[in-house]
Amino acid sequence: MFNGFEPVFDKDSEILILGSFPSVKSRQTGFYYGNKQNRFWKMLGKIFNEEIEDNTEFKKLFLLKHKIALFDVVAESDLAGSADSNLEKSEFKICNMKFLFPPNTNIKKILCNGKTAYNLFYNSNQTNLPILAMPSTSSANPRFDFEIWKNEIISK
Protein backbone atom coordinates (compact mmCIF):
# COMPACT_ATOMS: atom_id res chain seq x y z
CA MET A 1 0.00 0.00 0.00
CA PHE A 2 1.14 3.54 -0.80
CA ASN A 3 0.32 6.43 1.53
CA GLY A 4 -0.84 9.87 0.49
CA PHE A 5 0.58 13.15 1.75
CA GLU A 6 -0.27 15.21 4.81
CA PRO A 7 -2.75 18.02 4.17
CA VAL A 8 -1.59 21.60 3.70
CA PHE A 9 -3.93 23.96 5.57
CA ASP A 10 -4.26 26.39 8.44
CA LYS A 11 -7.14 28.05 10.28
CA ASP A 12 -7.36 30.80 7.61
CA SER A 13 -7.80 28.41 4.66
CA GLU A 14 -10.91 29.27 2.62
CA ILE A 15 -10.74 26.91 -0.36
CA LEU A 16 -9.94 23.20 -0.17
CA ILE A 17 -8.55 21.67 -3.34
CA LEU A 18 -8.82 17.89 -3.36
CA GLY A 19 -6.95 15.58 -5.66
CA SER A 20 -7.57 11.86 -5.82
CA PHE A 21 -4.21 10.25 -4.90
CA PRO A 22 -0.55 11.11 -5.60
CA SER A 23 0.79 10.03 -8.98
CA VAL A 24 3.95 7.96 -9.24
CA LYS A 25 5.93 11.15 -9.99
CA SER A 26 4.40 12.93 -7.00
CA ARG A 27 5.27 9.99 -4.75
CA GLN A 28 8.85 10.19 -6.08
CA THR A 29 9.11 13.94 -5.43
CA GLY A 30 7.30 13.66 -2.10
CA PHE A 31 4.69 16.36 -2.68
CA TYR A 32 1.47 17.12 -4.51
CA TYR A 33 1.50 17.49 -8.29
CA GLY A 34 5.14 16.51 -8.66
CA ASN A 35 4.76 15.67 -12.35
CA LYS A 36 6.03 18.74 -14.18
CA GLN A 37 3.57 18.04 -17.00
CA ASN A 38 0.64 18.55 -14.63
CA ARG A 39 -0.82 22.05 -14.98
CA PHE A 40 -1.60 22.53 -11.28
CA TRP A 41 1.32 24.70 -10.11
CA LYS A 42 1.58 26.62 -13.39
CA MET A 43 -2.15 27.34 -13.19
CA LEU A 44 -1.93 28.70 -9.64
CA GLY A 45 1.10 30.79 -10.56
CA LYS A 46 -0.79 32.30 -13.48
CA ILE A 47 -3.95 32.96 -11.41
CA PHE A 48 -1.97 34.86 -8.77
CA ASN A 49 0.61 36.26 -11.21
CA GLU A 50 3.47 34.79 -9.17
CA GLU A 51 6.41 32.53 -9.90
CA ILE A 52 6.15 29.29 -7.93
CA GLU A 53 9.52 27.87 -6.93
CA ASP A 54 10.04 24.16 -7.37
CA ASN A 55 10.42 23.28 -3.71
CA THR A 56 7.95 21.89 -1.24
CA GLU A 57 8.32 24.51 1.49
CA PHE A 58 7.78 27.37 -0.96
CA LYS A 59 4.68 25.66 -2.36
CA LYS A 60 3.21 25.13 1.11
CA LEU A 61 3.74 28.79 2.02
CA PHE A 62 2.31 29.88 -1.34
CA LEU A 63 -0.88 27.89 -0.70
CA LEU A 64 -1.31 29.21 2.83
CA LYS A 65 -0.64 32.79 1.71
CA HIS A 66 -3.53 32.46 -0.74
CA LYS A 67 -5.79 30.72 1.81
CA ILE A 68 -5.79 27.45 -0.13
CA ALA A 69 -5.81 24.07 1.58
CA LEU A 70 -4.61 21.03 -0.38
CA PHE A 71 -5.24 17.34 0.25
CA ASP A 72 -6.17 14.10 -1.49
CA VAL A 73 -9.36 12.11 -1.03
CA VAL A 74 -7.57 8.76 -0.79
CA ALA A 75 -5.33 8.16 2.24
CA GLU A 76 -3.74 4.95 0.99
CA SER A 77 -3.97 2.70 -2.04
CA ASP A 78 -2.23 -0.19 -3.75
CA LEU A 79 -2.39 1.74 -7.05
CA ALA A 80 0.88 1.00 -8.82
CA GLY A 81 0.49 3.56 -11.62
CA SER A 82 -0.96 7.05 -11.80
CA ALA A 83 -4.21 6.71 -13.74
CA ASP A 84 -7.33 7.75 -11.85
CA SER A 85 -9.25 5.29 -13.99
CA ASN A 86 -7.39 2.49 -12.16
CA LEU A 87 -7.72 4.04 -8.71
CA GLU A 88 -11.37 3.14 -8.27
CA LYS A 89 -10.50 -0.48 -9.16
CA SER A 90 -7.69 -0.64 -6.59
CA GLU A 91 -7.76 -1.25 -2.86
CA PHE A 92 -8.01 2.16 -1.19
CA LYS A 93 -9.01 3.97 1.98
CA ILE A 94 -10.79 7.36 1.99
CA CYS A 95 -9.41 10.10 4.25
CA ASN A 96 -11.53 11.44 7.05
CA MET A 97 -11.42 15.19 6.42
CA LYS A 98 -13.75 16.58 9.03
CA PHE A 99 -10.80 18.25 10.78
CA LEU A 100 -10.38 20.45 7.67
CA PHE A 101 -13.82 22.02 7.95
CA PRO A 102 -15.20 24.83 10.11
CA PRO A 103 -14.72 25.61 12.93
CA ASN A 104 -11.10 24.44 12.46
CA THR A 105 -10.75 26.42 9.19
CA ASN A 106 -12.67 28.97 7.15
CA ILE A 107 -13.21 26.59 4.22
CA LYS A 108 -16.16 27.83 2.17
CA LYS A 109 -16.01 25.45 -0.78
CA ILE A 110 -14.25 22.37 -2.07
CA LEU A 111 -12.76 22.14 -5.54
CA CYS A 112 -12.14 18.57 -6.65
CA ASN A 113 -9.37 18.22 -9.21
CA GLY A 114 -11.07 15.84 -11.65
CA LYS A 115 -14.11 13.60 -11.65
CA THR A 116 -12.50 10.75 -9.71
CA ALA A 117 -11.67 13.03 -6.78
CA TYR A 118 -15.18 14.47 -6.95
CA ASN A 119 -16.94 11.10 -7.07
CA LEU A 120 -14.88 9.58 -4.27
CA PHE A 121 -15.30 12.60 -2.01
CA TYR A 122 -18.96 13.23 -2.81
CA ASN A 123 -19.80 9.59 -2.07
CA SER A 124 -18.02 9.79 1.30
CA ASN A 125 -20.47 12.59 2.25
CA GLN A 126 -18.32 14.36 4.85
CA THR A 127 -19.68 17.92 4.66
CA ASN A 128 -22.49 20.22 3.62
CA LEU A 129 -20.04 22.66 2.02
CA PRO A 130 -20.32 23.25 -1.74
CA ILE A 131 -18.35 20.62 -3.68
CA LEU A 132 -17.40 21.35 -7.29
CA ALA A 133 -16.01 18.95 -9.88
CA MET A 134 -13.24 20.87 -11.62
CA PRO A 135 -11.54 19.91 -14.89
CA SER A 136 -8.48 17.84 -14.05
CA THR A 137 -5.15 19.66 -14.29
CA SER A 138 -3.54 16.47 -15.62
CA SER A 139 -1.73 16.86 -18.92
CA ALA A 140 -3.76 13.84 -20.07
CA ASN A 141 -6.99 15.87 -19.82
CA PRO A 142 -7.78 17.60 -23.14
CA ARG A 143 -10.75 19.41 -21.52
CA PHE A 144 -8.73 21.36 -18.97
CA ASP A 145 -10.18 24.87 -18.64
CA PHE A 146 -8.05 27.52 -16.93
CA GLU A 147 -10.92 30.02 -16.75
CA ILE A 148 -13.12 27.68 -14.72
CA TRP A 149 -10.35 27.23 -12.16
CA LYS A 150 -9.52 30.94 -12.10
CA ASN A 151 -13.15 31.96 -11.56
CA GLU A 152 -13.63 29.54 -8.66
CA ILE A 153 -10.36 30.37 -6.93
CA ILE A 154 -10.68 34.14 -7.30
CA SER A 155 -14.31 34.13 -6.12
CA LYS A 156 -13.47 32.58 -2.72
What is the spatial distance between Cα 93 and Cα 109, in angstroms, rounded to a whole number?
23
Q: Which of 3, 38, 49, 141 is catalytic?
A: 38
Determine whether 35 is an active site residue: no
- 131-122-47 Cα angle (round to 5): 35
Question: Which are the catalytic amino acids?
Answer: 38
